[in-house]
Structure 1
Amino acid sequence: MLNDSLNRELLARYTPKPGRHALLPELTPRQTVALLCRVLYREGYNDHIAGHITLRQGDGSYLANPWELTWGEVTASDIVRLDPKGKVIEGEWNITPAINLHIDLHAARHDVNVVIHNHPQWGSVWSAVGRVPPIYDQTSALVDTDPVLYDEYRGTVEDLDLGRACVEALGTQKWAMLANHGVLVVANGVRQAHLRAITLEWRSRLAWRVESLGGGSPLPINVARATGERTDSNGFPFLWEAMAREEIRRDPSVLE
C-alpha cells in the first residue's frame, strides 16, 4: 500500500496543467496493442515474426498481434480477437500456434491482463547463458524483482506441456528468462507491461556492455528494490505515453 501511495503522489504532483494537450489521444484497445508492438519492436523485441502479446478484454476474449506480421509493421486493424480458448473470432490474420502459453497464463493468473513473449536481442543473450543480468544503473532498476530463470529448454512452447511448464516456472512472479529461448513478461495493464518489457531489455543490454569491459559495481540490492517499488506498480510516470507519441509521430498509420 505504501508503494501505491507513493506512486499516486508522484503522478498527482506532475499531472499536466489544465489547458495542456492530452498526453495521448483517446485510444481503442486495438490501437493500444498495436502501439505496444511498435514501441517494443524499437526496444529490441524484433525477432522477425516471432513473439506474441495478448490483452485480456472484459468479456473474456483477448486481443493479440497476428502471426504473419512483424511487430514493426502491425497496425490497429491487424490486431485479432480471440475467444477464451485462443481461437481467432475477429480479424483477417492467423494467430501463433504458441498462443496456448498465453491462454494458460491468463487462466492461471487472474491478476494478469497482458502477456508478452518474445526473443529480444539482449534478453536472449542472457537467456542463452542462463544468467540473470545484474542491475548496473537506475533505469535497470525500474522493476523491483529479478526475473525468474527457467533453465530448461525442451522445445518450442506451442507444445502444451512445455507451455504449461513455463507457466509453472513463472509462478506468481512478474517476468522470466527462458533458457536458450527468450523472455516472458506479465502485467496488470499496458503501462506496466511496457515498463517491465523495456526495463528487462535495457538491463540486459547495459549489463552485457559493462561486463564486456570487465565488469562494474551493481546497485546495492536495497537501493535497486526501492527504486523499482516506486515505479513498477503503475509504470514510470508519462513514459508509456511519451514512447507511444513518438511512434505515432513516426508513423500515424499505426492507429489505422
Structure 2
Amino acid sequence: MTDAERLAREELAACYRLAAHYRFTDLIYTHITARVPGEDGHFLINPYGLRWEEITASSLVKIDVEGNKVGDSPYRVNPAGFTIHSALHMNVHEAAWIMHTHTRAGVAVSCMEEGLLPLNQIALQFFDRIAYHDFEGIALDHAERERIVADLKGCPVMVLRNHGLIATGRSAAEMFNNMFYLERSCEIQIAALSTGRPLRAIGPEIARHVVAQYAQMNFDDGDLLLEWQAHLRTIEGLGTDYRA
C-alpha cells in the first residue's frame, strides 16, 4: 500500500481507539470512515463485529461506494452502516473523514425538537453550522442518501433526528475535533436542562463572533493540529498496537 494509505489507516485506527476511550462507541455499531488517498471511490471502514478498542490499522477494510470489499480481508463489513457515509463521501468534497455516533447525550439531543441549543461557548462553534435530517427508519435505503446530502447544506456536522450525530472533516484532526465538541455540547445541554432552572440565552451577534474566533484559533493559529497531537499522545499512552 502507499505511504498515504498507511498513514490514513493509522489515523483512522487512532480515531476508533480515541472514540472508545471517550466512550463514544455503540459496541460494534456505527462507523468512522475515511477516503483512501489517491484511490477514487475507495474508503476505509471498521471490520464489522470488532469492538472499537480492538481495531488496528491493518484490520480496517477497504470498500467501494456500495460497501463491497476491495481486495482481501478476513473481516465482514456492514454495507447498511455505510449508507450515510457513502452519501457524504461521494458528494461533499470536505467530507473526506466521517464519524457517526449513537451516544446517550447525542441521541437525547437528536430527540429534542429544538436540536442543539446555543447555550454555551463550546456549543457556539456550531451556530449556523449544524444540519438536521429527519428520521426515515434504519438507514438501509440508498435513496435516502440524496436527502442526507441535501440536508447537510455545507455544514460540518449533522444531527440525525431521533438517531444520532455525524461529524465530517477534511482530515482526521478536523473530523475528530468536530465530533469531540459536538458530543461535549450535547452533554452540557442535557446537564443544563436537567437542572430545571431558567437558561440564559446568547444572542446571534455574539454567537457569530464566537464562530469566527474558533475559526481563527483552529486554522490560523494552529490549535486544531495541537489538539490532534494531544489526542494522539492520549492514545499512545494507552498502547501503540493500533498502528499494527
* Matching of residues 226-241 of structure 1 within 5 Å: 226-231=212-217, 233=219, 236-241=224-229
Q: Which has the higher contact order (CA 8 A, sep 6+)?
A: 1
Structure 1 counterpart of 2:48 = 67
Could you tell me which of 130, 133, 156 is aligned with 2:116?
133
Could you tell me which of 195, 199, 211 is aligned with 1:225?
211
Structure 2 counterpart of 1:252 = 240
- How many angstroms apart in 1 are the aligned matches of 2:226 and 2:200? 29
Helix, strand or coil at the partner of 2:104: coil
Per-residue CA distance 1:101-137 (angstroms, 9 max, x = gap): 2222122112321122221221111002233222444
Amino acid at match of 2:51: T
Structure 2 counterpart of 1:107 = 90
Structure 2 counterpart of 1:164 = 146
The answer to whether the 8 Å contact 2:46/2:61 transfers is yes
Residue 181 (str. 1) matches residue 174 (str. 2): no
Structure 2 counterpart of 1:79 = 60
TM superposition shift of 1:202: 0.5
Structure 1 counterpart of 2:3 = none
Residue 41 (str. 1) matches residue 25 (str. 2): no
Structure 2 counterpart of 1:8 = none
TM-score between both structures, scaled by the size of structure 2: 0.84
* Matching of residues 2-81 of structure 1 within 5 Å: 28-57=7-36, 58-60=38-40, 61-81=42-62
When residues 207 and 29 of structure 1 are mapped into structure 2, their CA distance, relative to the original with a 3 A threshold, is same
Helix, strand or coil at the partner of 1:238: helix
Residue 93 (str. 1) matches residue 72 (str. 2): no
Per-residue CA distance 1:53-83 (angstroms, 9 max, x = gap): 2111211221111221222321222111113
TM-score between both structures, scaled by the size of structure 1: 0.80
- How many angstroms apart in 2 are the aligned matches of 1:155 and 1:32? 31
Per-residue CA distance 1:198-219 (angstroms, 9 max, x = gap): 0100001011112222243344
Q: Which runs of 5+ in 2 are unaligned?
A: 1-5
Residue 205 (str. 1) matches residue 187 (str. 2): yes
Number of equivalent positions: 229
TM superposition shift of 1:227: 2.8
Helix, strand or coil at the partner of 1:117: strand
Helix, strand or coil at the partner of 2:166: strand
Per-residue CA distance 1:159-182 (angstroms, 9 max, x = gap): 112333222211322111011101
- How many angstroms apart in 2 are the aligned matches of 1:144 and 1:242? 26
Helix, strand or coil at the partner of 2:146: helix
* Matching of residues 132-151 of structure 1 within 5 Å: 132-143=115-126, 145-150=128-133
When residues 44 and 163 of structure 1 are mapped into structure 2, their CA distance, relative to the original with a 3 A threshold, is farther
When residues 49 and 112 of structure 1 are mapped into structure 2, their CA distance, relative to the original with a 3 A threshold, is same
TM superposition shift of 1:232: 5.1
When residues 209 and 48 of structure 1 are mapped into structure 2, their CA distance, relative to the original with a 3 A threshold, is same
* Cα RMSD (Å): 2.2
